[in-house]
């Protein structure tokens, strides 16, 4: 999405950012220019990939969904950062390690590493 945080798929299209992956010729189906940076859209056809600059398919509603997800993710990370900082201030890192170890021992949620 905004900073190469991966791909988003919706229906027949995939949404991602350059530089990063490489889909076919990376030439925009709308303006014909090479896609070298920024967000772009990809459609996989049986024999090739078709790509568009974000600016060249800005009517696609999915972009606003992606922007919203990115904003939500950022807000969540900032809240988490604040919470982590205040936890560290109050309890210290060793307490956090102990807490995580205890919780993991009691609630094994992770599969085999």
Candidates 1, 14, 56, 57: give the one binding Zn ion (CB under 5 A). 56
Minimal distance in Å, beta carbon 47 to Zn ion?
Answer: 21
- The answer to whether the beta carbons of residues 24 and 50 sit under 8 Å apart is yes
Shortest distance, CB of residue 38 to Zn ion, whole angstroms? 10
75 binds Zn ion (CB under 5 A): no
31 lies in the binding site for Zn ion (CB under 5 A): yes
Least distance between Zn ion and beta carbon 53 (Å): 3
Residue 41 in the binding site for Zn ion (CB under 5 A): no
Residue 42: Cβ within 10 Å count = 20
Indicate the Cα dihedral angle 5, 23, 39, 42, nearest 10°: -100
Nearer to Zn ion, 28 or 66 (CB): 28
**Nearest-angstrom CA–CA distance, 57 and 13:** 12
**Interaction site with Zn ion (CB under 5 A):** 28, 30-31, 53, 56
């Amino acid at each position: 999405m905004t900073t190469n945080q991966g791909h988003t798929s919706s229906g027949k299209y995939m949404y991602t950012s350059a530089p990063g992956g490489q889909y076919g010729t990376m030439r925009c189906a709308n303006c014909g220019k090479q896609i070298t940076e920024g967000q772009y859209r990809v459609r996989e056809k049986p024999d090739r990939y078709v790509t568009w600059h974000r600016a060249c398919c800005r009517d696609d509603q999915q972009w606003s969904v992606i922007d919203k997800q990115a904003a939500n993710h950022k807000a969540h990370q900032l809240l988490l950062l604040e919470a982590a900082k205040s936890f560290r201030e109050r309890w210290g890192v060793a307490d956090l390690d102990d807490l995580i170890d205890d919780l993991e021992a009691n609630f094994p949620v992770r599969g085999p590493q």
